[in-house]
Structure 1
Amino acid sequence: MMNSKSTPVFSFFRQSTCVSTWLIILFLGMANGLSAQSLDLSRAQIYTPIKDKKVLRRSVEVLREEVQKRTGTLLPLATKVPTDGRPLMYLTLQKEVPNLPAKYRQLLGQVPTLAAEGFSLVADPASNAVLLVAADARGVLYGVGQLLRKLELRPGQVLLPQPLRVTTSPKYPIRGHQLGYRPKTNSYDAFTVAQFDQYIRDLALFGANSIEILPPRTDDDFSSRHMKLPAIKMIAEQSRICDEYGLDVWMWYPNMNPTYEHPDSIQKELKERHEVFKAVPRLDHVFVPGGDPGDLEPDVLFGWLHQMAEVLHQYHPQAKIWVSPQVFRPNQAWFDAFFKHINAGYPWLGGVVFGPWVKMPVTEIRKVLKPGIPIRMYPDITHSLSSQFPVPHWDLAYAMTLGRECVNPRPYDEKMIHNALDEYASGSISYSEGTNDDLNKFVWSDQDWDPNRDVMETLRDYGRLFIGPDVAEAVAQGMVAQERNLRGPLLPNEGVLRTLTQWQAIEKQAAQQVPTNFRLQMGLLRAYYDAYVYRRLIYETELEQQAREYLRQAGTLGTQVAMEKARTTFEKATKYPVAPDYRQKCLELGELLYQSIGAQLTIEPHGAMSGRGNFLDNIDLPLNDVLWVMDQLSEVAKLPSEAERLRGIHALLHRTDPGPGGFYDNFGAPESWYRVVSDRSYEDDPGSLLSPRVSFGVGLIGEEWVHEVRATGFDGKATPRAWMHQVNTLYDTPLKIRYDGLDPTASYKIRVAHTGRFRSKIKLTTDDGSLIHDFIQTGRQPFYEFKVPQAANADGQIIFQWTCGEGERGAQVAELWLIRE
């Protein structure tokens, strides 16, 4: 096994050799004798000698229909090789190459032996022909996809602007995406059968060979107001569609029952499996998560899987069961038992799935598996909050407003994440909750096909095929700009407005598509939304500074006057809003997305589930500390004397003051990150299993949704924004924070705000072995304060280290005061 080689986030190529490579891509000019002129295929005919319908499937139909949608031209089918000189698209199998007419054999040249699903595609203006030679049925479909990706399709025009010579086979055999038909998703539950057909087709054009569906019963409701068919009927349609394209069908099937040991419970579960497995015409694999949801001990889990396999094979005899070591509170005994079963050689076992909330890095899983047992990746490409692969140093303003399932193009991040982990697995099927991650799906499929694939080529193909050739480059660059704007502090990021200008130019050029093209709508929405949040952040940050200035003058103005002026200043954000036209545009685009693809971006009127894809509901969330400040001022106003009110205002203004010789840090903010100790880069550990990350949420007792940063805080009062983001490590990975330049003769005390998603039992020590405190339960209160042993800073520096007990979710620190006594 080769060592993992990480790729810098915005690097274009992976620095390792790909077994299945693009041998020749886009020969330009006179390379290999090809003419530099474009190839006009507007009057082309399509010919194929393939007669076996199981091989041809829908590939020719796809080519003709996708061209017709964009050009209005239905390319005719030829019943024999035409000789009338019209352009020709010739589709055949590699085994038929010896039977090709001589001129096409010469055009094709020497083609290496294609691996499964591979193809060779040659387009030559001099020969007035496009020749597709495929290894098998899927190779025909993927070759058609490659051709469609490179064509410039306009009304009445089918143009290939450059000669093309591509020979390629996929590196990984598993390449797909989860399309769950359930209410929790932000759009799939509103799909019609036709929309699923088109979406599955689109994914196949970029190399996907697998679609994962969900049974009717999951950790969700059975139905939603958006559903066009009952779930049991829709998953049958999804399975049928995949089979018609020749794609594998997977099913994610969680264990929802509280027990799988009582005979009555087991019989009920088996009856449900009979109904579900019988309903779908094709099913190749079933993925059962070890947890999230589900919470079974390995002996019970594998005993149940054996019974489930017997039912599965009654309807799908060759289907395999895959299982993941996902468990929220893992311990070593659980993992030991799990992998003992995995390595036992069960005939129904397909392999192991590595996904969110798997504690063990995939490198370690590979080591404990017997050779030959495959791993399938299950990457979370859909979430931003509470995600497997977070955006590094995401600004709180974005986290609050974009939420958990925003439109989230992250092309270079996805390539980097993929290439950091790919060599340990046999491919991936992504975890997706809707169309918000649309671009990421296509990037991930291309990387599963070839990890050396240039992301910009994928983006240009995406823009060219799905939005239009005249804006392909602008769309590609616009999506890269949107990803770049997500990283780091938002307040100084002037690039956000430049990105909006880019997308406004695309909007003007592709104006006819805006009402119907959901991919264009998503790009525009993010551009306007980001600009609106950016403008509001600048405005509301300045308003808060003005309000605080009035409070600083309370001794001169009087507390009542100062508080009223502060209140009036804060209210300007709503009375005199900034950029209202951007806000209105976002709402209009949200409605268009609901109409075009069923995207549910609001609870009302679009029927979204709270905390999922409803980020438009967050569009007006305050981006300063107005809620906390006004809460505090309400308490100050109740004080009976002017002197007491002055002291209350002083405490508000100096909340973060550590005193003379002290230190204060907000660890969700980049200015404090330099104190966080880590020996791994984001590129080395994108899932943060062994390194710290910035996370979001308040997470004190009494809050229902601990991952929503807008939650009301402790005791029903608003929280400071500083509590809404923190540094976090997962499970028992230590969290280390360093302080240098301390007075070695002084005594210090530490005050910590442990807010965030997790309520864990944690212990605090220092690098010299001093114990600050033994295990305590966090989440019951915001602040914890302890004396630091003087010996800990005798050398002028301290590394504080928080560790969790076995089975805990992780350590997190939002704020830290190191106070000199």
Structure 2
Amino acid sequence: MTGRRASEVERNAAALFVERLTETDQVTAAIRGEGEPSPRGQYLRVLLGIPEHHDAIRAAFARLHIPPLTWLAPGAEGFLLKAVPEEDGLTILAAGIDDRGVVYAVGELLRRLTIRPGGVDCPRSMEIRTAPAFELRGTQFGQSHVALQVAKVRPWTQKEIERKIADCALAGANTLAVPVHITEEDPTYRYIKGLGLKTIVHYSANAGSGPPEWQAKESIGRTGYLCPSVPEARAALLRACEAAFSRSPHFDYVSFSGGDGGGCECDRCKPYGAVFIRLIEDYAAVVHRYHPNAVVMFTNQKFDNEDDVEIFRYLRAKPDTGIGAFCVGPGSDAMSWQPGHRQHHRMDLFRYPRFGPFSRYMHEIVRQLPPYVDLAFFNEITHWRYSQHGYIQAYPRPDKDGNHPPPWNHFIYERMPDPYLTQVYDRLTFYAWPRYYRWVFGETVRYGMGDCTHSSGTHDHFNQWMWQRLLWRPHREVADIVAEYCRTWFGPEAAPYMAKAIFLMEEYLQWDTQKDLTQKSSVDRYYDLVMRAGRVMPSFLRDRSWLWREFAQKAAIDKRTKLAVAQQMAIQRSIEKAVGQALAANVSDAELDGVIDLSLRRLAGLCE
């Protein structure tokens, strides 16, 4: 039941709730407004909305002596869920402190309900008053060009895009990345705003075109970037920024990327941080001309130590730059040698590293920033290797100063992918890292206002979902998050098997120096658990679960790879034995050629 004065977002939240509740054809539900007659008999009634917009919710608060929702209890964007048993059924109060709080109440209620054949079960004892811990909770969702052009996946339909957005919102996200050229009429933009969500734009700070003398010296030779120390090129960059934001719809956050790709390493730009931060200040003035409430951010990706020092110095000296946040992304950490790392490192901070890798430089950034500039994150949790927090495939080379990470820091760089599986999969592959990413989150995001993660498809589904749940409540145990994920997406019957499978996947994906892939029983156990989960899932859930099929496909490919490696090793051993015996027997060249020909035929008979 929606309130008499329900907003568009409240009405859309109610429609989303009914859509998700009834999509398996096991439950019948309808939206009713206040004053409309209720159905006869026993039923589940949900009073959904903001108390100020909903007389029935306000009356229930008064009757049950429920304290009002405030910015302290539950907090901004928060909600209350309370089950109230009554003679004619069960009433759920789903009250949000604001529009987004109503959406998040729907998400939590859907997680608490269990759909069964012909109905739905709801806890009769439930009272949850909660709000998110972080202000920025977002993701850059979508499909990468690698997925589209190399893997040849089909583009998502508009309905699938909207479902992805809704999934993020129901998990607790409040911000979605959109391109700067999007319009107010675009159905994706309308859908995001229809759920009361915020938008963020990632804008390359020096991308542009012009004559050769304008071109930037990009760190790895990429083209399509201009040198901001060339006055004509800088003016062109500002004109392009003006053109983009003068005709764009409202954006809540605008993040200007400093590198990866982009930036300039020419002599005129040294130190680039000093040139860059002044350009961002001018960009902020342009953005605020058309979007006065937008928070302007920037990333320091692949900058040098001197660049960061210049940025800190300038921001401390000028309290009116219009810049709201310093954003950390891949290549931002001055103490990391992860792939795509910086050319110089803050070795002085290793003297007393405190909590250590990933954490120490975040603390240093906060210490150096003025109070009016916050710290935000653009964490990359979509690539399993060669990425910000992913596996590396070789021990890192020294930086330009000849420095390596200190010995106590080596465990990060000893995390390498299984050498057989890494030959099968690209950087984009289906994977889940509950334990490691839970640790990374705690080491980094604690220092900032939140995170807008990078995502390139559906292969990182668990990682992205866990991140949003941690942005809501960061102290949760990893086992609790995995259990909630599995109940939400696979149902209570399959959840225990899928939870065990997810932890096993994280285990066997990593290189183990003591056992090769053929000795990893966790591959077989993962396969067995996912298949067993599929057998116990109700058919109305399993048959429409693309996510379970992705886990199952991963299980089948990895088990097949293990069997193929075992077959190849067995043939290799037999060939080595046959050739060795022939050589030991000092056979003729013709007989040796025969042994070799037989070996080659056996190799040709492999399925690979």
**Where on the TM-score scale, by shorter chain, does this alignment land: which range?**
0.7 to 0.9
Task: Check conservation: 2:138, 2:174, Cα contact below 8 A.
Answer: yes
Distance in 2 (CA, whole Å) between partners of 1:78 and 1:159 is 23
Over 3 Å counting, the alpha-carbon distance change for 1:566 and 1:435 in structure 2 is farther
Amino acid at match of 1:62: L
Over 3 Å counting, the alpha-carbon distance change for 1:79 and 1:109 in structure 2 is closer
Tell me how far 1:130 sits from its aligned partner: 0.8
Question: Residue 303 of structure 1: which of 278, 286, 295 is its match?
Answer: 278
Residue 319 in structure 1 maps to residue 274 in structure 2: no
Over 3 Å counting, the alpha-carbon distance change for 1:528 and 1:353 in structure 2 is same
Residue 528 in structure 1 maps to residue 556 in structure 2: yes
CA-to-aligned-CA distance 1:622-649 (integer Å, 9 cap, x gap) = xxxxxxxxxxxxxxxxxxxxxxxxxxxx
Gap regions ≥5 residues in structure 1:
1-46, 217-231, 578-619, 621-821
CA-to-aligned-CA distance 1:73-129 (integer Å, 9 cap, x gap) = 232314238676643111243568997576665557457722101111112445611
Over 3 Å counting, the alpha-carbon distance change for 1:191 and 1:430 in structure 2 is same
- Secondary structure of the structure 2 residue equivalent to 1:402: coil
Match of 1:292 in 2: 260
Tell me how far 1:355 sits from its aligned partner: 1.6
Mapping 1:54-133, distance limit 5 Å: 56=10, 58-71=12-25, 73-80=28-35, 86-93=43-50, 100=57, 105=62, 109-110=66-67, 113-125=73-85, 128-133=90-95
Residue 437 in structure 1 maps to residue 460 in structure 2: yes
CA-to-aligned-CA distance 1:461-515 (integer Å, 9 cap, x gap) = 4344444454333333332332232234333211211211122223344566667
CA-to-aligned-CA distance 1:767-787 (integer Å, 9 cap, x gap) = xxxxxxxxxxxxxxxxxxxxx
- Secondary structure of the structure 2 residue equivalent to 1:70: coil
Over 3 Å counting, the alpha-carbon distance change for 1:572 and 1:459 in structure 2 is farther
Task: Check conservation: 2:14, 2:31, Cα contact below 8 A.
Answer: no
Tell me how far 1:63 sits from its aligned partner: 0.9
Amino acid at match of 1:443: M
Aligned length: 515
Tell me how far 1:431 sits from its aligned partner: 1.5
Distance in 1 (CA, whole Å) between partners of 2:375 and 2:429 is 29
CA-to-aligned-CA distance 1:392-451 (integer Å, 9 cap, x gap) = 343211222123110012222222211122321111111212221111111000001101
Tell me how far 1:312 sits from its aligned partner: 2.1
Match of 1:502 in 2: 529
Match of 2:121 in 1: 159
Distance in 2 (CA, whole Å) between partners of 1:111 and 1:568 is 82
Over 3 Å counting, the alpha-carbon distance change for 1:348 and 1:198 in structure 2 is same
- Secondary structure of the structure 2 residue equivalent to 1:436: coil
Match of 2:220 in 1: none
- Secondary structure of the structure 1 residue equivalent to 2:430: coil
Distance in 2 (CA, whole Å) between partners of 1:104 and 1:82 is 21
- Choose 120-129 or 317-326, whichever is displaced more: 120-129
Amino acid at match of 1:543: I
- Secondary structure of the structure 2 residue equivalent to 1:506: helix
Match of 1:357 in 2: 331
Match of 2:485 in 1: 462
Task: Check conservation: 1:57, 1:246, Cα contact below 8 A.
Answer: no
Mapping 1:218-237, distance limit 5 Å: 232=182, 236-237=186-187
Task: Check conservation: 1:181, 1:189, Cα contact below 8 A.
Answer: no
Considering fraction of residues, name the structure with more strand: 1
- Choose 65-74 or 263-272, whichever is displaced more: 263-272
Amino acid at match of 2:245: F
Match of 1:409 in 2: 432
CA-to-aligned-CA distance 1:33-52 (integer Å, 9 cap, x gap) = xxxxxxxxxxxxxx232614
Over 3 Å counting, the alpha-carbon distance change for 1:74 and 1:547 in structure 2 is same
Task: Check conservation: 2:90, 2:124, Cα contact below 8 A.
Answer: no
Question: Residue 547 of structure 1: which of 552, 575, 578 is its match?
Answer: 575
Match of 1:493 in 2: 520
Distance in 1 (CA, whole Å) between partners of 2:184 and 2:384 is 28
Tell me how far 1:354 sits from its aligned partner: 1.4
Task: Check conservation: 1:181, 1:213, Cα contact below 8 A.
Answer: no
Amino acid at match of 2:504: A
Distance in 1 (CA, whole Å) between partners of 2:536 and 2:332 is 45
What value does the CA root-mean-square deviation take over the aligned residues? 3.2
Task: Check conservation: 2:6, 2:49, Cα contact below 8 A.
Answer: no
Mapping 1:623-702, distance limit 5 Å: none
- Secondary structure of the structure 2 residue equivalent to 1:375: strand
- Secondary structure of the structure 2 residue equivalent to 1:51: coil
Distance in 2 (CA, whole Å) between partners of 1:453 and 1:108 is 30
Distance in 1 (CA, whole Å) between partners of 2:301 and 2:67 is 48
Distance in 1 (CA, whole Å) between partners of 2:325 and 2:593 is 64
Task: Check conservation: 1:478, 1:503, Cα contact below 8 A.
Answer: yes
Task: Check conservation: 1:236, 1:279, Cα contact below 8 A.
Answer: no
Distance in 2 (CA, whole Å) between partners of 1:280 and 1:458 is 38
Query: Percent identical across equivalent pairs?
Result: 22
Gap regions ≥5 residues in structure 2:
208-224, 265-271, 335-360, 392-414
Match of 1:381 in 2: 381
- Secondary structure of the structure 1 residue equivalent to 2:460: helix
Task: Check conservation: 1:119, 1:167, Cα contact below 8 A.
Answer: yes
Match of 2:176 in 1: 211
Distance in 1 (CA, whole Å) between partners of 2:170 and 2:43 is 26
Distance in 2 (CA, whole Å) between partners of 1:362 and 1:235 is 39
- Secondary structure of the structure 2 residue equivalent to 1:396: coil
Residue 247 in structure 1 maps to residue 200 in structure 2: no
- Secondary structure of the structure 2 residue equivalent to 1:409: coil
Match of 2:339 in 1: none
Considering fraction of residues, name the structure with more helix: 2
Tell me how far 1:146 sits from its aligned partner: 0.2
Over 3 Å counting, the alpha-carbon distance change for 1:128 and 1:540 in structure 2 is same
Task: Check conservation: 1:57, 1:137, Cα contact below 8 A.
Answer: no
Over 3 Å counting, the alpha-carbon distance change for 1:108 and 1:383 in structure 2 is farther
Over 3 Å counting, the alpha-carbon distance change for 1:331 and 1:289 in structure 2 is same
Tell me how far 1:381 sits from its aligned partner: 0.7
Distance in 2 (CA, whole Å) between partners of 1:73 and 1:474 is 29
Tell me how far 1:304 sits from its aligned partner: 2.4
Residue 538 in structure 1 maps to residue 498 in structure 2: no
Over 3 Å counting, the alpha-carbon distance change for 1:237 and 1:261 in structure 2 is farther
- Secondary structure of the structure 2 residue equivalent to 1:141: helix
Over 3 Å counting, the alpha-carbon distance change for 1:185 and 1:234 in structure 2 is farther
Normalising by structure 1, report the TM-score.
0.57
Over 3 Å counting, the alpha-carbon distance change for 1:514 and 1:336 in structure 2 is same
